[in-house]
Amino acid sequence: MKFIHIADIHFDRPFVNLSDKDILGDLRRLEQRKIFKKVIEYIKLNGIEFLFISGDLYEHKYVKISTIEYINNLFKQIPNTRIYIAPGNHDPITKNSYYNKYNWNSNVKIFNSKTEIIEEPEIDIYGFGFDDFYCKNSEIENIEIKDKNKINILIAHGTLDGGNIEEKEYNPLKRLELEKKGFNYIALGHIHKPDYSTNIVYPGSTISLGFDEFGKHGMIEGILEKNKLDVKFIPLDEEEFKEIEINVSNIFSKEELIEKINNLKIKNNENIKIILKGNRNFEINKYEILKYIINNRIIKIKNNTKIFNNLETLSNEYTLKGIFVKKMLERIKKKELSEKEKNIIEQAIEIGLNSLE
């Protein structure tokens, strides 16, 4: 049997923190459609019998009916491919979800929170789907394979060997327990980085969803026999997200910084976040700097710099500047302040000192 395994597409994701430029969220949503169409075209051209979607196909809170219709119309183009969907924490099969209230094409099977077995002549497919935004116990560990002479596949969304409290909110699974079950292939979703070193597989997200998702993104193609599994990762997303650090300690003006950023060598498929670090010698307004950046591949600037002035020395001066800095430093030293609040005060000091020049 030949199959494609995908997960974590997140159709209609808002992408609110992706870029300092408004348009990129719209471009990424268009890219989601383009990539999904690539998957369907590949299935048509290569006679793929099964499509496994291991959750987070769309964003329950944001998805539009037009997007659901776009997905389903593509499913109609592969009528001979059986499509199995295991809803995840972003697209749970709730009472008002499109999984329940939309009339999906006949080749689509959507699993719910009661583990179900789909029996085919030589294959049994087990599936579990989220029915809420959290799942602490799917009881997958209680599954007993019905017929070990057949090819057995499990499709689910969950966290494998998660250690922290947050990870245990999203269907925690143990690798050793799953291995004991005897499945020939386990199609998981939720982790956005590909992992296909064993028969317990995460395909990763089909497109990069931001700067925390470096590397290649795409789908898994598999050929599965009873005692043989061949899988390969097929990249789909032509765009890549990268970070570039710039130390501003030896930069003394806004113009000099803009010139340095504009001289960076950036590829046409890269989306860049500039991270400014070091001691700054002038006030840095990232939105003001972005106006003068020539390369539209630079989509975000993060200011991690620290103010250069020797504030402790200045605070001991009996001047207007000294009194101002002393009062502000007293606020910074309060233990209950968060790092974000301290950074805001530092920025206020910088603006205040510039005003007092």
Cα distances from 265 to residues 17, 244, 258, 287, in angstroms, run 24, 11, 14, 21
By residue range, what is the domain housing residue 126? 2-235
Please give the share of the chain, as a percent, with pLDDT higher than 90: 72
309: confidence class by pLDDT, cuts 50, 70, 90: low
What is the tens place of the pLDDT at every residue in 16-38? 888 887 788 888 999 999 999 99
CATH number, domain with residue 78: 3.60.21.10
pLDDT of residue 321: 85
The reply to whether 180 and 137 lie within a common domain is: yes
Strand order in the sheet with 240-247: 240-247, 270-277, 298-303
Q: What is the mean pLDDT of the chain?
A: 92
* Predicted pLDDT of residue 357: 62
- Shared domain check, 256 and 230: no
* The token pair that represents 336 in the structure block: 């209950």
What's 168's DSSP letter?
G
Please, are residues 6 and 48 in contact by the beta-carbon 8 Å criterion?
Answer: no
Q: Going by DSSP bridges, is the β-strand pair 240-247/270-277 parallel, antiparallel, or unpaired?
A: parallel
Residue 81 has pLDDT above 90, yes or no: yes
Q: What is the pLDDT of residues 132-178, one digit of tens each?
A: 999 998 999 899 999 999 999 999 999 999 767 677 799 999 999 99
Q: Are residues 286 and 227 in the same domain?
A: no
CA distance to 304, 326, 350, per residue, from 354 (Å): 19, 16, 6
| Same domain (yes/no): 229, 283 | no
Give me the mean pLDDT over the 262-289 stretch.
Answer: 92
Q: Are residues 82 and 221 in the same domain?
A: yes
User: How many other CB atoms are found less than 10 A from the CB of residue 24?
Assistant: 17
Under DSSP, the state recorded for 273 is: E
Q: Are residues 12 and 59 in the same domain?
A: yes
Instruction: Give 71 or 349, the one with higher predicted confidence.
Output: 71
Q: What is the mean pLDDT of residues 85-90?
A: 98
Phi, psi of 110 (to 5 degrees): -115, 120
- The C-alpha angle with vertex 153 and arms to 34 and 122, in degrees rounded to 5, equals 110
Judgement on whether residues 52 and 169 belong to the same structural domain of the protein: yes
- Choosing from 202, 235, 268, the residue where a domain stops is 235
Which residue, of 235, 258, 287, is where some domain finishes? 235
Looking at the structure, do residues 95 and 171 belong to the same domain, yes or no? yes
DSSP 79-145: TTSEEEE---SSS---TTSHHHHS---TTEEE--SS-EEEE-SSEEEEE---SSS-BS---GGG---
Longest distance between any two alpha carbons in the chain, whole Å: 88
Extract the runs of DSSP E, i.e. beta strands, from 184-327.
185-189, 200-201, 218-225, 228-235, 240-247, 270-277, 279-280, 298-303, 306-307
User: Are residues 130 and 269 both part of a single domain?
Assistant: no
Q: What are phi and psi of 310, to 5 degrees?
A: -80, 90
- pLDDT at residue 349, as a whole number: 85
Domain boundary among 235, 269, 286: 235
Per-residue CA distances from 286 to 162, 163, 277, 289, 291 (Å): 37, 37, 13, 5, 9
Structure confidence by residue, pLDDT tens digits, 38-50: 999 999 999 999 9
Domain count, the chain: 2
Q: How confident is the model at residue 308 (pLDDT cuts 50, 70, 90)?
A: low
Q: Are residues 196 and 316 in the same domain?
A: no
Identify whether residues 268 and 122 lie together within a single domain.
Answer: no
Co-location of 198 and 268 in the same domain: no
pTM of the entire structure? 0.84
